[in-house]
Structure 1
């Protein structure tokens, strides 16, 4: 079964190393995602990550465990995980369009949201934002 997982996390990457670290992360992730048949998109705000991953449930579950151990970030919060009828980012092993500083406060607010926040609405907003940024 195909699933989509959307998470946000806080970056632990030193700001002076961010450009090189993210370039390396994107390059390695694209190669790994192609091999694993994963699609998706990544936002990096300088302080936070937001990422959508699409693929087989077992593959995404294993990747999320690996991401959870990655020292480049912490406070990983899954916003949405749901079955997927068709991929949204079908043409992208990992869509990334550079730092997205103008939405930084919005992503930070997602991490700070209380447990009762409407996660479906948040997930739709982040997904739509990623799609718009990737078509620029």
Structure 2
């Protein structure tokens, strides 16, 4: 059985070092995710992170705990945490999309929507992540 965790958080990264910090996060995450048999996608919009993590229950729990403790994240908001029958990002240890004005607007809208319509927020965030991965907006280095 698989578990998914979908969240949005606010980054705590030095303004002058976003690129360096993100390269480090993505590099370490791809290796750790592969070792834990986890797949998923990460978007950084400049003012928000959004990520879907999917894999074995214990592995997702390990990553969730690490992210919630990570000082580079604040206001970690779970959009969805659920059992899953399969993966949306099969073959991607971590699909990644960097800064985008469009994505920033969408993540803000989804964050606001979550309070009124959690299922809709979850559906919309998954759509953003999957559409970017299909269109080439998300890449795996």
TM-score (norm 1): 0.92
The number of residues matched between the two structures is: 135
Cα deviation, residue 97, structure 1: 2.7
3-state SS in 2 of match to 1:120: helix
Q: Provide the residue aligned with 1:119 in structure 2.
A: 118
Cα contact 2:114–2:120 (8 A) shared by 1: no
Distance 2:131 2:105 in 1: 18
3-state SS in 1 of match to 2:95: coil
3-state SS in 2 of match to 1:3: strand
Q: Provide the residue aligned with 2:14 in structure 1.
A: 14
Cα deviation, residue 104, structure 1: 0.8
User: 1:35 aligned to 2:35?
Assistant: yes
Structure 1 residue runs of 5 or longer lacking an equivalent are none
Distance 1:101 1:107 in 2: 10
1:1-136 aligned at under 5 Å gives the runs 1-113=1-113, 115=115, 117-135=116-134, 136=136
Distance 1:113 1:126 in 2: 11
Cα deviation, residue 120, structure 1: 1.3
Distance 1:113 1:15 in 2: 27
Which runs of at least 4 in structure 1 moved beyond 4 Å after TM superposition?
A: none
| Deviates further, 125-134 or 103-112 | 103-112
Distance 1:35 1:114 in 2: 32
Distance 2:3 2:14 in 1: 32
Cα contact 1:12–1:74 (8 A) shared by 2: yes
